[in-house]
Amino acid sequence: MLKKLLGLTLPNCKDPEGREVDLSQIRPELVPQHVAIIMDGNGRWARAQGKPRTFGHAAGARTLRRIVKFADKLGIKALSVYAFSTENWKRPITEVHFIMDLLVEYLTKELEEFNQYNVRIRFMGAREGLPDAVLEKMDHALEVTRDNTGIILNIAINYGGQRELVGAMKEIATLVKEGQLQPEDINEKTIEEHLYTRGMPAPDLLIRTGGDLRVSNFMLWQIAYSEFWTTPVFWPDFSEELLAEAVLSYEKRDRRFGGLNQK
């Protein structure tokens, strides 16, 4: 059934390396609606090939294009990806400049194709400190795709989960100070309404590539009950096959949200 929905005529689809992607076991009704990805391993992938780290970042950008399209075909409604963290400013200045230039290039070259593909682009993170050229491309992407109804590509740029929560607390404290909100009325929904992801559901599935087992300050509030799936594969080599594998693993999980399965 899923292969019909995806419009696939082959027994399985294939990733760029020719490996078959088995979709026959995936149940469309159980596909995670929101998937978050920590795209790790660009630099290590490049070093393994004797290339500079920047070579890996460029390759990772190409991988993202493929994965967004395949995620949409699987029925995933939102994809949140960790592109540049608040801690990434500590990297060598040449690498930071390359990443900023890559963001400008990516939001220029890929925008038309994403728009044609009905992708809606969103961003989360602090605008302060980002180059004007990056901010201009971000604003343009938001404007061009705001009415699109396909998958949401939520890109985390200059993002930190702790900073996000601090910002939310400050906004809520201001409302209390101004008398617009009573402390006893603050609840989980109040906080969610002041996060970058307001209006979006929490991620059902968090994927981390590159083999590390940590969340790296990513969506700390939102992933409270997300299912985790990790792979040692570096992000530039992440394939449609691996995304399908992650989704299949998710579908087999027993999500209880702190309760018990009554079956």
Q: Which of 12, 15, 22, 40 is catalytic?
A: 40
Integer angstrom CA distances of residue 110 from 106, 121, 129, 196, 239: 6, 11, 24, 23, 19
Residue 251 CA to residue 32 CA, distance in Å, equals 8
Q: Which of 12, 15, 42, 88 is catalytic?
A: 88
185 in catalytic set: no
22 in catalytic set: no
CB 218 within 8 A of CB 82: yes
Q: Which of the residues are catalytic?
A: 40, 88
